[in-house]
Amino acid sequence: MTSARLTALADLRGDIERIESHTDAQDLRRVALGHAGADAALQGGLALGALHEVFAEASRHSAAATGFVAGLARRIGVRPLLWVRQDFAERESGALSLSGYRELGLDPRLLVTVRAPDAEAALRTAADALACDALGCVVLEIWGETRHLDLVASRKLTLAARGSGVTGLLLRVAAAPMPSSAETRWIVRAAHSPPTRFGTAPWQQIWGAPVLETTLVRNRHGPNGHWIMEWKCDECLFRDAPAHPQPVAAAAADRSHPAAAIAWQRRAG
Amino acid sequence: MFDADAAADAQTLDHVAAWCDRFTPLVALDSPDGLLLDITGCAHLFGGEVALLQMLCTALAAQGFAVSAAIASTAVCARTISRARHGRIVADGDEAAAVAPLPVATLGADAAITSGLRRAGLKTIGDVAARARHEITARFGAGFTTLLEQALGQGDAPISPKQPLPDYIVEKRFAEPVATDGVIAATLTSLACMLVAAMDRQGKGARRLQASFFRTDGAVRSIAVDTGQPVTKAEVIDRLFRERLDAIADPLDPGFGFDLIRLSASRTEIVVQQQRDLGAHIHDNDELSALIDRIAARLGDRRVVVHLPQDTHIPERAVLAVSAQQHLGHAAQAVWQTRVADEPPLRPLRLFEHPEPIQVIAGVPDGPPAQFRWRRATHAVVRAEGPERVAMEWWRAEGVTLTRDYFRVEDEAGLRFWLYRDGLYGSEVMPAAGQPNWFMHGLFA
């Protein structure tokens, strides 16, 4: 009796080992982001055929998170991209502007947008799309908390992605991270544009490149990390942002604004 | 006692016409109270003309309608006879004899013509037919002569059916009405196989499919599915209808059951079979359009879109979202403006469909903003660039068209916004009229 039970237990352990080894880091193809620190933490880059979650730190950082997702999608490759967006997300953080999308170095010709009426329809569409290996990646954009996106749903997405090799990017705004089967989870906020050299005339100052403060809070096969990256629109990769002065404290409320701006520039210089 | 309701009558006639679809695909409305069915080549399916007429009249009478029907070789002849006698079938060539004794009112001409004929002493159609045609035409017009000739079987005009004739139809009738989902799904599957076999013989694929469910109580429900590429596989048709049936807002209500389920291909295209390379990405395109078809079947055609660039400076009109099913090929060949190297993005990544009003404090009325309030939060502007002046297109002006001055700004948290002032201060917005309006239009990554 005992030995039979032990055998059964050993069998089960073997099964679990086999299942777990399937998701081994070596099995997944990876694509480098270009940012040395992040690539090292990710053991070579972002895993393909897996699910990655990107959270906006607060809803006002939704565009930064969108930019990060767009950058990841571009790194994954130039294959058709399906962007599934919930209608409410479009009302809250705006629709994707294809001119801006083009300027980030992505190809609007490869983009197919699905406007889903609600989170449930969006999830179902994404699960369907992740099984279609003609796509490079599927972006699923969901606004706010939803009970449909639980562990079971994310497991389904992960399995579909693994089966087809299509990468799933989950863009969440105004939501708190929940347990999921994602390969990585990022929290993104906007960061200041790189400072200009002191004394540069205003019309020579080039600023406005997408600089993002990213925190890797979950990584199944490596350490977490915190980096400030700049998306290089021309080279189409992430780079370490040049000096990135963040204000130590919020600007004083009693001081007039232009003075604060000058003070900030002086500090930066 | 009710008031006459012409709209409700028309709707009822429309429902009866839909029900009559089971006998022939060519059903035309003859308002206000008639239907014309072209049963050419259909009668034998119901055991001949006599049996068909009887079946139709019995069923309609059972639904509570008073029916008067006739079969003849022209539509006008049959209609004329049905107004006088019920259930008559006129053999080919007997039309003139059959209509001759009928009163002229049964022709259904204008009241003025009918009373004119009567006043001329022509009481029956036979009387009118006996006169020379040119006399009739001179007095009552060529339209009436044509009508008379058609009633006499000397000329014919096609009826204009309610729906265009589908290219392929397959259907299944049930002796006992079916109501369970399983049977309905299995029926659709077998119908899809039959349809594909029929189309395959002529090398066709379906672009538009329609499934019609005829309920025993006369209600008919039709569900249509469009595809981007011609469909030639039964399993694809099956899956599309499953997605569609799953997603429709008011589910299929079988009531007491369906006694006829029909699948028709109303638009078809010739399919060119081509040899494909292994690993070619033509295969990818097929897969993608199949996926788009499935999503469109579930969510609707307008919810799956591709994007085409437009030749305009107005940001919200710069891109047109069009149905992916129809325009996947166009979108793949669209020419987009190339980006300027070494420049940060000049257009935001996210654009609001309706620009949101914001409260702005600007140093000078036509200068960049120093601080603004958007969605109940105050943002202090650290850097600003602009204005980029976008003039509205006067040649397609609708309502007010003010020039916009766009500014790219970054606030103290590093958020980058795209906002604009509506109207040129001093020329379009007068200083006396108060502060100009500012709007938030987009967000940069």
Residue by residue, DSSP assigns B214-235 as EETTS-EEEEEEEEEEEE--HH
Any domain includes B343: no
B248, B275: one domain: yes
**Neighbouring C-beta atoms of residue B76, cutoff 10 Å:** 26
d(CA A225, CA A216): 5
Q: Show which of B263, B295, B327 is a domain's final residue.
A: B295
Is A78 part of the contact surface with chain B (CB cutoff 8 Å)?
Answer: no
Any domain includes B55: yes
- Judged by CB atoms closer than 8 Å, whether chains meet at B445 and A193 is answered as no
> Number of structural domains, chain B?
4
Q: Encoding tokens for residue A118?
A: 């609600």
Compare CB distances from B350 to A93, A209, A212 and report the shortest one's residue.
A93
B227, B312: one domain: no
Any domain includes B97: yes
| pLDDT value, residue B430 | 75
SS3 A238: strand
B315, B400: one domain: no
Q: Residue B179 burial by CB count (10 A; 0-12/13-18/19+): exposed, middle or buried?
A: middle
Any domain includes A20: no
Any domain includes B59: yes
Which residue range(s) make up the domain with B407? 350-444
- Judged by CB atoms closer than 8 Å, whether chains meet at B347 and A97 is answered as yes
Any domain includes A63: yes
Instruction: Kindly report, residue by residue over B382-428, the tens digit of the pLDDT.
Output: 888 888 999 888 887 677 678 899 999 999 999 999 999 988 887 78
Q: Cα dist. A62→A101, A247, B445 in Å?
A: 15, 21, 8
Any domain includes A117: yes
Compare CB distances from A101 to B333, B342, B349 and report the shortest one's residue.
B349
Give B144→chain A minimum CA distance, Å.
56
The total number of residues shown for chain B amounts to 445
Is A64 part of the contact surface with chain B (CB cutoff 8 Å)?
Answer: yes
B91, B187: one domain: no
| pLDDT value, residue A112 | 95
Any domain includes A7: no
d(CA A121, CA A127): 10
- Judged by CB atoms closer than 8 Å, whether chains meet at A103 and B315 is answered as no
d(CA B423, CA B266): 52
| pLDDT value, residue A247 | 44
B308, B376: one domain: no
Give B190→chain A minimum CA distance, Å.
25
B23, B132: one domain: yes
Any domain includes B189: yes
Instruction: Kindly report, residue by residue over B277-299, the tens digit of the pLDDT.
Output: 665 555 677 889 899 999 999 99
Compare CB distances from A125 to B299, B336, B343 and report the shortest one's residue.
B299
Give me the residues of chain B with pLDDT under 70, please. Answer: 274-283, 397, 400, 433
Q: Show which of B87, B116, B151 is a domain's final residue.
A: B151
- Report the residue of B229, B302, B350 to disrupt the A interface, i.e. the one with the largest count of A CBs within 10 Å: B350
Any domain includes A60: yes
- Report the residue of A85, A90, A109 to disrupt the B interface, i.e. the one with the largest count of B CBs within 10 Å: A109
B241, B357: one domain: no
> Number of structural domains, chain A?
1
Any domain includes A58: yes
Tell me the DSSP string of A90-113. Answer: HHHH-EEPHHHHHHTT--GGGEEE
Which residue range(s) make up the domain with A176? 27-243+252-268
Give me the residues of chain A with pLDDT under 50, please. Answer: 25, 244-252, 256-269
Question: Considering just the CA atoms, what is the radius of gyration of chain B in Å?
Answer: 33
| pLDDT value, residue B319 | 92
Is A55 part of the contact surface with chain B (CB cutoff 8 Å)?
Answer: no
Any domain includes B225: yes
Q: Which residue type does A146 have?
A: T
Using the Cα atoms of residue A126, residue A132, residue A133 and residue A136 in order, give the sign of their dihedral: negative
- Judged by CB atoms closer than 8 Å, whether chains meet at A93 and B385 is answered as no
Give B310→chain A minimum CA distance, Å.
11
Give the angle subtended at the CA of A14 by the CAs of A12 and A18, to the nearest 5°: 115
Instruction: Kindly report, residue by residue over A50-109, the tens digit of the pLDDT.
Output: 999 999 999 999 999 999 999 999 999 889 999 999 999 999 999 999 999 999 999 999
User: Token match 């237990």: residue?
Assistant: A9
- Closest to A164 measured CA to CA, from A141, A135, A139, A140: A135
B19, B143: one domain: yes
Q: Which of residues 181-210 of A touch B (CB under 8 A)?
A: 189-193, 205-210
Cis peptide before B357 (omega within 30 of 0): no
Is B371 part of the contact surface with chain A (CB cutoff 8 Å)?
Answer: yes
Is beta strand A51-56 parallel, antiparallel or unpaired with respect to A167-173? parallel
Any domain includes B356: yes
B330, B384: one domain: no
Give B3→chain A minimum CA distance, Å.
43
Any domain includes A100: yes
Chains A and B: how many Cβ contacts under 8 Å?
A: 215
B328, B388: one domain: no
d(CA B79, CA B75): 6
B218, B133: one domain: no
Q: Which of residues 395-424 of B touch A (CB under 8 A)?
A: 408, 410, 412-416
- ipTM of the predicted structure? 0.81
Any domain includes B161: no
Identify any residues that bridge with A185 across adjacent strands, giving them in sequence order: A53, A218
> The domain that contains A196 carries what CATH number?
3.40.50.300
- Report the residue of B349, B381, B383, B408 to disrupt the A interface, i.e. the one with the largest count of A CBs within 10 Å: B349
Is B120 part of the contact surface with chain A (CB cutoff 8 Å)?
Answer: no
B139, B30: one domain: yes
